[in-house]
């Protein structure tokens, strides 16, 4: 298993005060990762999310971030950005949050969960439905 240390510019929604996470590959599932809080705050058990590399699982997904979001992440060009989407497993299948992707600067290893302004992406969409579109 491979692991990369990431730092969020601000705690992801619902995970405050955590900003330091490990992005761990999931063996046998290219582009699927476990995002785990690196140092859970006192008394907390730590947080874990599953995220998908959008380029692998959702190649038609092309979110546009604002100039302000790009500047805050110190992105010099699109090639430095990696887009991850949070995946949620339910009884009826896996859904992904397309409205609030995690944008990772692969050069600095800083990231942010951004809200895509003025774009009509759903918060919960079945993974298979979007991937087939």
Nearest to 32 by CA among 11, 47, 15, 54: 54
Whole-angstrom Cα Rg for the chain: 14
75-96 pLDDT per residue, tens: 998 899 999 999 998 888 889 9
Average pLDDT (58-69) is: 92
Domains of the chain: 3-132 (2.30.290.10)
The position carrying tokens 């500047």 is 71
pTM listed for this prediction: 0.90
H or E element, residue 86: strand 81-90
Looking at the chain, list the stretches that DSSP marks H as alpha helix, in order from N- to C-terminal side. Answer: 54-57, 67-72, 127-132
């Amino acid at each position: 298993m491979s692991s990369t240390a990431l730092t969020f510019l601000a705690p992801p929604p619902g995970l405050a005060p955590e900003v330091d996470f490990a992005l761990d590959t999931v063996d046998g599932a290219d582009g699927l990762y476990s995002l785990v809080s690196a140092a859970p705050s006192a008394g907390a058990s730590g947080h874990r999310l599953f995220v998908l590399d959008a380029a692998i699982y959702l190649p038609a997904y092309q979110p546009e971030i604002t100039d302000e979001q790009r500047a805050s992440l110190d992105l010099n060009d699109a090639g430095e950005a990696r887009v991850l989407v949070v995946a949620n497993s339910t009884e009826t299948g896996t859904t992904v949050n397309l409205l609030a992707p995690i944008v990772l600067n692969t050069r600095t290893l800083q990231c942010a969960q951004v809200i895509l302004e003025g774009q009509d992406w759903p918060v919960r969409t079945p993974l298979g439905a979007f991937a087939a579109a």
